[in-house]
Amino acid sequence: MTAKKSGIIGGAASRNGEGLRIGNWYNYTVDLSAYAGQKYIAFRHFNCYDQYIMCLDDITINTSGGPVPPTPPTPPTPGQGGTQLVNFEGGEIPAGFDNNASNYPWIIWNDNPYSGSYCMASGNYNVASSESYIDATVEFVTDGSIDFYSRISSESVTYDYGVFYIDGVEQYREGGTTSWTNRHFSVSAGSHTFRWYYRKDSSVNSG
């Protein structure tokens, strides 16, 4: 364990807008052999009334085979909180989407994606009197939000349109020709089902 060398730091470690002065760096070596088989190592800063921060750096864990490299952070998974980023650069619909119920499942599309090489698109392109939708059910452990970009190329919203639902409740509807637009919706803790839906009427099948 180490403590910060003498100096002033600010930002999150400030008090009343002033930086905090902290002490010198120290090197500590701890024999962990008595803890073989244990899963965690913890660093704790506690029982202090006038020491406001503890800094750690260059932490190395050695086994009999030498230093153990740091483990890269694991992306959050549903039910564990954090930010989940979904993209389509694998060239397929990612796991977690339910794309089986619609007669025209959504597809991977490479024409003018918002970023990268691919996006997903409704599967009823040029199909008269059709609908296409895709669902995703996500467990939120705390209040959060969902953000994505969408665009549409169709007749006016009177005839053809895309809709986004949360738990069966329409959040927005769009039609005509639009550019990529950011969509943001607050979501309460709990399980929620998102649906992206596109309806095509019986005429003017392009778009």
d(CA 59, CA 74): 19
Higher pLDDT, 127 or 165: 165
pLDDT band at 114 (very low <50, low <70, confident <90, very high): very high
Q: Taking CA 62 as the corner, what is the angle to CA 61 and CA 64, rounded to the nearest 5 degrees?
A: 155
Q: Which CATH class is domain 97-200?
A: mainly beta
List where CATH 2.60.120.200 sits in the chain: 97-200
Q: Nearest-CA neighbor of 172 among 190, 148, 191?
A: 148
Q: Which residues pair with 164 in a beta bridge?
A: 172, 196
Q: What's the whole-model pTM score?
A: 0.59
Quick check: helix, strand or coil at residue 35? Answer: helix
pLDDT band at 148 (very low <50, low <70, confident <90, very high): very high
Amino acid at 105: P
Q: Given a cut of 80, is residue 32 above it in pLDDT?
A: no
d(CA 147, CA 136): 13
Among 19-33, 56-70, 87-101, 112-126, the range scoring the smallest mean pLDDT is 56-70
Torsion of Cα atoms, 25 then 30 then 35 then 36, to 10°: 110
Residue 50: CA count within 13 A, CB half-sphere: 1
Q: How far is CA 177 from the centre of its chain?
A: 28
d(CA 70, CA 60): 8
Q: Given a cut of 50, is residue 20 above it in pLDDT?
A: no
